[in-house]
Amino acid sequence: MKKSELLLLQDLLSTPKNIVIIPHKNPDGDAMGSTLGLLQYLNKKGHRATVVSPNDYPKFLKWLPFEDFVIKYDLQNQQALRLIKEADLIFTLDFNSLSRVGDMSVILEKSSAQFVMIDHHQQPDDYAVVTYSDVTICATCQMVYHTIEMLGDKDLIDADIATCLYTGIMTDTGSFRFRSTSSLTHTVIASLIEKGADNAFIHEQIYDANSFSRMQLLGTALTNLKVLPEYRAAYITLSQDELDEHNYQKGDTEGFVNYGLSLDNIKIALIFIENKQEGIIKISLRSKGDFSVNEMSRSHFHGGGHTNAAGGKSDLSLEDTVAYFISILPQYKDALNE
């Protein structure tokens, strides 16, 4: 964070404020970990902070400390609207464009509150008075840790805050195996464990609580896995009927795309998931090396993210979306075969 922005943030937090903290729509471990960690810190500092999520999130995140205090915009609309209207300060975490909060974006654009952005995705929008953006940091949770540290309050990080921040760093780094994991990340993780984060317990809550139906869905996904060796590409499809057959719950497909990427000589993997309620195909993209799925998603799938991990969507049918993906691969053939 730039010194001028740190000084402004210190000034904004120098007196008690009504604060709303917002993750992106369909929040993941980093989004919920960062918002809940920041929530506890700000309340310790004497602010009146609340997390307002655009919608619900997976069951495997609902054990996080203070999760039961989260207000969900789609389910608790009037309460969420009141909190946003009364907010002096709004923190947006783990996203950098108001379009990432879905229907809430209209409300936020009308808000008279000042905004603070903490995020590690590429190409941030210019809507915040304080923008802490760093694409070299692996997770927003690590950025929240550094924010607390820069504000001189590392001693306020207790076991609950440490648990939230550890969770987000662990999930956004694929349990510390992605290239974005740095030596500094491991230093932060060591500090969080010293503060009380139980690494074995956290891993168990996130990764070892699978339902039988989720395992059956994974079996279907792997059956649907296709490989395009000339492009070093793999993809998985899941139709709405297949999701329904296996009693799909939010978060059940988390990590499925990585099975394609784990194949020998594969450089890019995607999963296409039909969502008839929203009328879209949800897309997750992953890559290895320097091939940017962020650029591919921005150019073709109305999305974005990081160099090696991005999301997107399509308004076409599942079959037509896959066909479109295959049709664009020739323009990337040289880069994928480098």
> What confidence tens digit (pLDDT) does each residue in 171-201 have?
999 899 888 899 999 999 999 999 999 999 9
Same domain, 180 and 292: no
d(CA 135, CA 121): 6
Segment 15-43 mean pLDDT:
97
Same domain, 52 and 193: yes
pLDDT, position 177: 87
Same domain, 222 and 172: no
How many domains would you assign to the chain? 2
pTM: 0.90
Classified as helix, coil or strand, 78 is helix
- Structural domain including 50 reads 3-207
d(CA 285, CA 268): 7
pLDDT, position 181: 94
Q: What is the CATH number of the domain that holds 167?
A: 3.90.1640.10
Same domain, 145 and 220: no
Same domain, 32 and 119: yes
pLDDT in tens, 35-69: 999 999 999 999 999 999 999 999 999 999 999 99
% residues pLDDT > 70 (the chain): 100
Kind plus residue range of the DSSP H or E element containing 219: helix 212-223
Same domain, 193 and 218: no
d(CA 92, CA 291): 28
d(CA 115, CA 17): 13
Same domain, 146 and 12: yes
pLDDT in tens, 197-224: 999 999 999 998 789 999 999 999 999 9
Same domain, 21 and 168: yes
Residue 32 · residue 91 · CB < 8 Å: no
Q: What is the DSSP letter of 237?
A: E
Same domain, 94 and 113: yes
